Structures are given as structure tokens and as C-alpha cells.
Chains A and B, each alone.
Chain A
Amino acid sequence: MKLFKTTKKERMKIYQYQYIILGLLLFTAASCSKSLDVVPKNKIPGDAVLSDPNGITAFVANLYYQAPIEDFVYFPREGFNARGNTGSLSLSQYGLEAIHSEWGNWNQFKNEWWVKGYKLNRNINILAESLPGLSMAESEKKALMGEASFLRAYTYFALAKRYGGVPIIPKNQEYTTEFESLSVPRSTEKETWDFILAECDKAIEMLPETRSSASATKRRATKWAAYALKSRAALHAASIAKFWNLVPLSGPAATQKLVGIDASEANRYYEQAIKASEAIMNSGAYSLYKPTPANPQEAAKNYQDMFMDPNIAASEVIFLKGYGQAGGALAHDYDGWNNPNQTGEGFPYRGRTNPIMELVDLYETYDKPGEITPLATTTAGGATPNEGYNPSANYLHFDSPEQIFQGRDARFFATIIYPNATWKGTKIVIQGGIVKPDGSLIDSRASFDFNGVKYFTYGKEFAEQYSGYDGSANMTRTGFLMRKFLKESAHISSFNQSTTDFMDMRYAEILLNYAEAVVESNYTQGNTNAAKAINDIRRRAGHTVDVPLNLQNVLRERTVELAFENQNFWDMIRRRTFHTAFNNKLKTALVPMIDLREASPKYIFVRKNVPGTNPQTFPEKSYYFPIPGTNNNGLVQNPQY
């Protein structure tokens, strides 16, 4: 008996199904073949990069690009490698060196180095872990390991000075879904600094003293660059230990020592700063650029030249960040943003960095070596109250505005553009008022006829003829503009045209680190060398009389010599002076005015709080940045965030 009897039609249907199933099976079988896994022709696979010497060079170049160097493209509110419409709101405008011509922003940061720092850390670990398997000379491998340690120290230095103690991850973690096993707790601040200094030591041991070309020697890490980094980092750590008690913070991060270092550690760190600096000073490899100028004018020219093109000062440069490719992604805009309004040359923004009186007053006069002599604007002299124009004050009279600056330190003339300075062949006009014969003041846009001559509030009639005080963003509102780093021969009319290189570490800084560490740690054996260090720097600036070694001389010299090199901000952080300097702080300006009260017109200068600013008070918690994402990464947050 047949249970299932099939007709011919039904059998046909079954065959059809069988064909379809067979076809599907064939398809799925074919889908498992690797014939579709094509290697892309327009990209280089990761393992190929790290197994080829040229690939390694490219990879390392990228690590230097990512390194947290605070240079022409670092803006605290925009982060590292920031180009485009940054406003040129630089770190120097956050401290006591300058103010922005338009914005009152300060103490405002893009808190990005946490993420970027650990990304760079991962890349450095990838490099370090792939080196042993490479086929290249052992000496080359060793140098690359040294570079990895240098970059790692640099990366963690940038983390530690912002966040205090941080998680240390010197080996790459393998991805796993067991997230708990990947989380690394914060090390103490002391352990973090010790790790940084130990990485510097490794770099010092492995790095070469020089490289194949002068350019590579300056742009890639050398033994001396590692010493310089150690000198800077050890001084920072020492200062935190010494000055922590000026502004102690409380909370879990403080009790677990994730922020703060015991005062007893200070001298150990100072000693490391001294030893690292001494290694460079005794190496014979470095010296100040043009150390004995014949006169202050020559000193000013030398100093200015060195920042317009650091490549001429090979003996001074220890580590350089290079720029190039005008118009492309590796150029910057420091010239454009900061040129005086009169020499704008078509760049849409100008005159952003405005140096303030707090810096200007620090430049010594040659006749009073070692003294801080504030610019005298009245017969009473000294830093008179910043009250603005007062008809009954006895202002000093000058035939020409630049006379008030006569006899100042050469570095003032090389760092700052002042009223009636010559820049690119143009006299820079900066004026903020007219005092009428009756003693009343005009300080808004106007003109005034006197003895047949027409006088204008801002010195000239039209905006392109002057550079200050009319209230627009292209004009200085402090009486001063930036000169250091700007190229006098350049013509900048569009974005990304500047290719001036940036000296990240130079010999003068090492001398200053040394002198500060010697004074702060009472290392009396170093007194002679430390006094020589600061007087060598002063001699290079045209001074002929030596000053004694003391803290005031060292700190003034440091502020003046390293002005606008993004050091002063961190000096105030590590020395814990920010909250006292910025306590209801209004920055101050110098307003040149034409005084028509006497028969022949004279210039007077009025000290005044920078117009359009509000008092600034630094909150103590800002000595550390907040750690991002603590509710996910489970780390202990810094105090008061």
C-alpha cells in the first residue's frame, strides 16, 4: 500500500524546490570564501607601518605632532594644534603678561588633554612594543626606545601639571569586555612625577647627543632635550612640594595624596632639577646666542632675531617645534593675529595680544640694575594709582612718546611694540586722548584744533593710520602690542602663512631653572654658578653690572627673559601665586595722551585699568583641572569639582 502517491506534477514541484535549495547552499558556501577580503590599495596596514623603517619615521613624526607642546598653535580654550578662528587667545593673556584686545576670557580651558594624552600614550606604547621585533640596527632601536621614553615623559608631564596624580599605563591594554580589569586607579602625585623623571632618565641614557643633520638634532629628541625636560619637570614637582601648604586643598583626592606632595620631598626634586641643568651647562654643547653684544641696541636686535628664526641660534636651541608648508596644515597664524593694526596687510584680524603694565614695569633700567623701577608717569614716580586721567596730577612731559621707555632693558624693545615704535618701517601710533588747554579730557573719537593744528584722539584721523584705543578689537587697549616671535619681513594677508619655528626648550630656560632650584633649595655650592647664570642672561641683554643672586632677581629675570613663551602661567600655578595675584585683579594699561595745556604740545602717560574689563579672582580649586568622566571611569575627582 502506498501511503504517499505522487503525481507527475507534484514530483516536478519537488525537483524545483531541490534546485532552489541547492542554489542557496552553493551561495552560502561561496560566501565563506575569502575572495572578498581585499586589502585596500589606498591605505597602509598597521603592521606594515611598524615593520618598515620609513613607516616608523612617519609614525614617530606623528607622535611629535601630537605631543603637548604649548606653542604657536596652543590656545587654552581651543587646545593643542588649534588653527583657524582661535582669536589668538593665548596662555600669556590668562596670566600677568598680557590681555586680549577684545575678550575678557581667562581661566577657561578646553579640558582635552586627558583624552588626547592617553591616546598619545597608547601610540607611544604601540611604538615601544613593536620595536623589539623590527629588523634594524640595535643602535637605532635604542634611540627609538629613548624617543618613546622622552615622548612618554612629555605626555605625562602635561597630564600631571593639569590633573596631579594620574593613572600610569606604560603597557598597552588588550581589549576585553571585562571593563573592570582595564580600569587603572590614579597614582599619587608624587608617584606620577617620579615616573616622569624616571622616563626622562631612560631617555637620557638611550638617546643620541646629536643626529644626522642640524635640523633633525633640534626637531627630534636628543640626550640634551631629555635633560632639559627633566630640568623643567623636576622644578615643577619641587615647587608643588614646597608651596602646596600655601593653598592646601581637602577632600578624598587630597587625603589619598592624588594631589599634593609632602614638603619634605621638595629638596629631592630641586636636586634633580639642579643635576639635570648642570649636565647641560657642563656639556659644552650649548651657550647663549650672541652672549656679549656691544650695546643695548645690538642686544635688542639679537634677541628679536632669535625668535624670528630660531635656526640661526643653534647654540641656544635645545628642542624646537618646526613649522612649514605656508598655506597648508603645518603653518600657523601668530603673525596675522598679532600684527599692529597699521601693518595688517589685509589679514582680517590684528592686534590681539596686548602686553600689560604688570609685565612692562618688570623690565629693568640700565642705571638701576637689579631693581624693579616702574615707569614714572608723574613727578611722584613709581606705579601711581591706576585711576585714569587726573587734571591735578603732575604728569611728566615728553616731546615724543617713546622717550618714556629710554634706558629700559633691551628685551623690552625686542618683545613689545610700544607707542611710536618702528615696526616694518612704520611708526606705530598709539594714543588714547587729548587734554584740552582748559585741562578737560577728550577720550572718545574727536578732533581738536589748537594753534592751527588739528589733533585727533587716537593720534590720527583714520583707523588704518593708528593702532590703539578706539575700542575696536584690532586696536590695543593697553598701549602695547606684541613684537617677540613676529616676523618683521613677513607679509601676511591670509590664514596659515606663518612658518616661524618655536623654541620649546632653550638654554636660557635651563640657566633660569638652575638658578631658581639653587635659591629655593639653599644649595649653596651652586651659588656662584647660579649668579653667573642669571648675570650671563643679563649680559646678553646688554647689562654690564652684575646683580646678586636672590629670589627676586631670579624670578624677575625669568619673567622678562621667557615672556610670552607660555612659561609664566605655569610658574604662577606651580609656585601657587595665582590666587594672590588674581584677587579682584584688574590688569593695567598705559594711555598716551597729547597734552595741550602748554604752548607746545607734549605727551603724557596715564596709568589706568584696562578699559572694558572686570575684576578677576582665581578660585583655589583651579590649581588642578577636573578629571573628565569620573562617574564612568570611577576615578577619584580632584578637589571641589
Chain B
Amino acid sequence: MKKSHIYLATFFSILLMAGCELEKIDNYDGPNASIYGGIYDIETNELIQQDIIRGTQIEYIENHYENPETQYLVVKNDGTFRNNMMFANTYTIRPVRGNFVEVQKMGIEVKGETKVDFKVLPYIRIKNAKIEKVGNKIVATFNLQQNVPNNVKKIGLFAHQEPNVGEPLKVVSSQVDLKMVTFESTIYTLQINLDENKNNLVPGKQYYFRIGALIDAPEAKFNYVPAIRITL
């Protein structure tokens, strides 16, 4: 009995859908191109580490339209990005609000698989970074090389169970307000005491640790070194 009802209902739904031409979902072509690439240090050619939350974004505008909306791409933690849902066209594109010196807009043509790399000058390079477990502490040591004359606002060591760890995604952090111009020869040390943070950094589990430094500039984001996994 019940089954025949379901069959009937299905049959009529199909009829209805066919009647409304719902088998055609859209009468436009879908996205047919993709864009990918990375944000690289113009001098060392290394990818520049980023944040996902409140991080660097790439603004792009599709040309040949009136009042085009600005669209945004989020950059991954390692400094790469990808969008497979692009329409083949020319675009004006620029990475913005990042941890590097402002760059100019550029025009690109997106067609098929298009690779776009940005070469930028990071505000700060964190050099000789070392994160180790020493007794009941996680100790980070590093030097700072700053590429702009601004103050360094703060430095920090961040911990989280996800590899995307950073200032906006952390369970524990050790942060120091510097508010000064730094010298490359200075060795900075940051520590997280594991005994005091037992509830958030559970012994025996794995966590990711990442060193960051923030320049004092409008809308600047932290510069980082790649996260390191440590078993506590």
C-alpha cells in the first residue's frame, strides 16, 4: 500500500519537474577556468606564510562589466591559493591587507588553468627560527629582519591542535609587545610553560607551534615561519 503511494508521488514529482523544465538547472555556462598560485618573497623566492582568519586576501574584479563587485580570495596558511570556479575573462587583481609592502594592481587573463604568482616584499622575515621542547617548556628562539622602517608591534608564539595555528587561531600563546625597531642581531626568545597550561596543552598529545611577528602598519598582518608539530 505505502509503497504504491511513494511510487505515485515520485512519478508525479518527475512529471511536475519535467513540466516546469526543472531538469535544466541553469541556462548559463558554469565556471570554466581556474586560477592558482602563491605569494612569494621577492628576494628569497620562498612562499610567505599567512593566516586564514583575518588574513591576507586577494581582491579581483572581472572586467567588461558595469559596476563589477569586488570579489575576494582567501589565501591558505602556506601562502598559496586556488579558485577552480572562475570564468574565463580578463581580471584586475591584487593581494591586499597582507604582511608585505603594498603592491600595485595587475591585469591578468584567466583561461583554463592559469597560474598567477605574486612577488612581494614581506614586512618582516623571521630568521633562524627554532621551536623546541625544553623540560616543561616550549622555547622558541629567532631573529627578526625587518624590511621597512616601522616599529615591530609585537612578537608571539602560538599553539593549537590544527596546523593552521596563528594569532587568530590559538589555544595558548606567549606574546610580547615590542613597539620598537629591531636589529637583526638580536635573538628573541618566547616560552610557553606547559605545566601552567595543562588543560589546553594536554601532555601526550600533538600540537602545532608557530612564531609570528607583527609590523606596526595600517591593516598589517602577522609574518610567520611554518608551524612545527611537537608531541608533548
Interface residues of chain A, those whose CB is within 8 Å of chain B, are 245, 248-251, 385, 387-388, 390, 583-584, 615, 617, 619-620, 630-632, 634, 637, 640
- Going nearest first, the 9 A-B pairs with the smallest beta carbon separation are A248-B218, A387-B199, A631-B67, A617-B168, A617-B53, A634-B67, A631-B69, A250-B219, A619-B54
Who on chain A is nearest to B160 by CB? A584
6 contacts between A and B (CB under 8 A): A245-B218, A385-B199, A387-B199, A584-B170, A617-B54, A637-B69
How many residues on B have C-beta within 8 angstroms of the other chain's C-beta atoms?
A: 18
CB distance A630 to B96 under 8 Å? no
* CB proximity of A632 to chain B, nearest CB, Å: 8
Query: What residues on B are CB-neighbors of A584 within 8 Å?
Result: 168-170
Answer whether A620 and B54 are a contact pair too, CB < 8 Å, given A250-B218, A387-B199, A388-B199: yes
B57 an interface residue at 8 Å Cβ cutoff? yes
Beta-carbon nearest neighbor of B96 in chain A: A250
Contact residues of B between 75 and 126, Cβ < 8 Å to A: 96-97
B72 touches A640 (CB 8 A): yes
Q: State in angstroms the CA–CA spacing of A388 and B97 once bound together.
A: 38
**B residues within 8 A CB of A388?**
199
Cβ contacts under 8 Å, B67 to chain A: 630-632, 634
Chain A, residue nearest B196 (CB): A385
Q: Which residues of B contact A620 (CB under 8 A)?
A: 54, 219
Contact B69 A630 (CB under 8 A): yes
Chain A residues contacting B69 (CB-CB under 8 Å) are 630-631, 637
A637 and B170 contacting across the interface, CB-CB below 8 Å: no
List the A residue with the shortest CB-CB distance to B72: A640
For the complex, give the distance between the alpha carbons of A637 and B71 in Å. 12
Answer whether residue B206 sits at the interface, using C-beta atoms and an 8 A cutoff. no
A381 vs B17: C-alpha distance in the bound complex, in angstroms? 68
The complex places the Cα of A615 from the Cα of B57 at a distance, in Å, of 22
- Chain A: CB-nearest residue to B97: A250
| Chain B residues close to A by CB (< 8 Å) | 53-54, 57, 67-70, 72, 96-97, 167-170, 199-200, 218-219
Chain B residues, CB < 8 A from A632: 67
Chain B residues near A387: list those with CB within 8 A.
199-200
Contact yes or no, B170 A249, CB < 8 A: no
Task: Report the bound CA distance from A480 to B169 in whole Å.
Answer: 29
What residues of B have a CB within 8 angstroms of the CB of A250 in the complex? 96-97, 218-219
Q: Which residues of B contact A251 (CB under 8 A)?
A: 70
Q: Tell me the complex Cα distance, A620–B51, Å.
A: 14
Whether B168 pairs with A583 at a CB distance below 8 angstroms is yes
Q: Which chain A residues lie closer than 8 Å to B54 at the CB level? A: 617, 619-620
Q: How far is the CA of A388 from the CA of B200 in the complex (A)?
A: 11
Cβ distance B170 to chain A, nearest Cβ, rounded Å: 6
Nearest neighbor of A633 in chain B, beta-carbon distance: B67
CB-CB under 8 A from A631, the residues of chain B are 67-69
Complexed CA–CA distance, A165 and B168 (Å): 30
Chain B, Cβ-Cβ closest to A245: B218
Q: Is the CB of A249 within 8 A of B219?
A: yes
In the complex the two chains form, what is the Cα distance from A251 to B61 in whole Å?
13
Q: In whole angstroms, how far apart are the Cα atoms of A250 and B217 in the complex? A: 12
The answer for the CA separation of A640 and B70 in the assembled complex, in Å, is 8
- Given the interface contacts A387-B199, A584-B170, does A640 sit within 8 Å of B57 by beta carbon? yes
Per the bound structure, the CA–CA distance linking A248 and B216 in Å amounts to: 12
B189: min CB distance to chain A, Å: 23
12 new A-B contacts, CB < 8 A, other than A250-B96, A250-B97, A584-B170, are A248-B218, A248-B219, A249-B219, A251-B70, A387-B199, A387-B200, A617-B53, A617-B168, A630-B69, A632-B67, A634-B67, A640-B97
CB closest chain-A residue, reference B218: A248
Complexed CA–CA distance, A634 and B169 (Å): 37
Name the distance in Å between B210's Cβ and chain A's nearest Cβ.
14
CB of B168 to closest CB in A, whole Å = 5
Query: Which residue on chain B has the smallest CB distance to residue A388?
Result: B199
Minimum distance in angstroms from B38 CB to a CB of chain A: 22
Across the interface, which residues of A come within 8 angstroms of B97, CB to CB? 250, 640
Q: Which of A248, A615, A620, A632 has the most CB of B within 10 A?
A: A615
**B57 contacts across to A, CB distance below 8 A:** 640
Residue of B nearest to A387 (CB): B199
Give complex CA distance A631, B61 in Å: 13
* A634 to B199 alpha-carbon distance, docked (Å): 52
Residues of A within 8 A of B169 (CB): 584, 615
C-alpha spacing A615/B168, complex, angstroms = 9
B219–A637 contact, CB under 8 A? Answer: no
Specify which chain A residues have a CB less than 8 angstroms from the CB of B200 in the assembled complex: 387
Chain B residue, CB-CB nearest to A252? B70
CA A541 to CA B101, docked complex, whole Å = 53
Min distance, Cβ B51 to any Cβ of chain A, angstroms: 10
Residue of B nearest to A386 (CB): B199
Tell me the complex Cα distance, A249–B220, Å: 11
Query: In the complex, A417→B122 CA distance in Å?
Result: 52
B60 to A: closest C-beta gap in Å: 13
| Bound CA–CA A245/B216 (angstroms) | 12
| Nearest residue, chain A, Cβ from B102 | A250
**Which residue on chain A has the smallest CB distance to residue B57?**
A640
Distance (whole angstroms) from the CB of B187 to the closest CB of chain A: 28
Which residue of chain B has its CB nearest to the CB of A635? B67
Contacts of A630 in B (CB 8 A): 67, 69
Closest to B68 in A: A631
Quote the shortest CB–CB distance from A635 to chain B (angstroms).
Answer: 9
User: For B218, what are the chain A residues with a Cβ–Cβ distance below 8 Å?
Assistant: 245, 248, 250
Report Cα–Cα, A385/B195, bound state, in Å: 13
Counting chain A CB atoms within 10 Å of each CB, the highest count among B54, B169, B170 belongs to B54
A282 to chain B, nearest CB (A): 41
In the complex, A249→B96 CA distance in Å? 11
Q: Report B74 CB to chain A, min CB distance, Å.
A: 12
Q: Considering the chains assembled together, what is the distance between the CA atoms of A549 and B67 in angstroms?
A: 51
Give the CA-CA distance A631 to B54 in the complex, in Å: 25
Q: Which residues of A are found within 8 Å of B167, using beta-carbon distances?
A: 583
CB of A237 to closest CB in B, whole Å: 21
Cα–Cα distance between A520 and B79 once the two chains are bound (Å): 41
* Residues from chain A with Cβ under 8 Å of B219 in the complex: 248-250, 620
Task: Report A-chain residues with C-beta under 8 Å of the C-beta of B53.
Answer: 617
Question: Which B residues touch A249, using CB under 8 A?
Answer: 219
Within the assembled complex, what's the spacing in Å between the Cα atoms of A250 and B220?
11
B195 to nearest A CB, angstroms? Answer: 12
Chain A residues closer than 8 Å to B199, beta-carbon distance? 385, 387-388, 390
Output the nearest chain B residue to A584 by Cβ-Cβ distance: B170
Contacts of A619 in B (CB 8 A): 54
Provide the bound-state CA to CA distance between A390 and B195, in Å: 13
> Min CB distance, B66 to chain A, in Å?
8
Chain B's closest residue to A246 (CB) is: B218
A620 to B53, CA, bound (A): 11
CA distance A328 to B170 in the complex (A): 49
Give chain B nearest CB distance to A214 CB in angstroms: 51
| List of A residues within 8 angstroms of B72 by Cβ | 640
A630 to B69, CA, bound (A): 8
Write the nearest CB–CB distance from A546 to chain B, whole angstroms.
33
Q: Which residues of chain B come closer than 8 Å to A615, judged between CB atoms?
A: 169
Q: How far is the CB of A389 from chain B (nearest CB, A)?
A: 10
What is the distance, in angstroms, from A100's C-beta to the closest C-beta of chain B? 22
Please, how many angstroms separate the alpha-carbon atoms of A525 and B69 in the complex?
50
Minimum CB–CB distance for B77 against chain A, Å: 15
Q: How far is the CA of A166 from the CA of B18 in the complex (A)?
A: 47
- Chain B residues within an 8 Å CB radius of A248: 218-219
Q: Which residues of A contact B170 (CB under 8 A)?
A: 584
Q: A40 to nearest B CB, angstroms?
A: 38
Residues on the B chain within 8 Å of A617, using CB: 53-54, 168
Residue of A nearest to B70 (CB): A637
Closest residue of B by beta carbon distance from A249: B219
Separation in Å of the A520 CB from the closest CB of chain B?
22
Complex Cα–Cα for A637 and B59 (A): 14
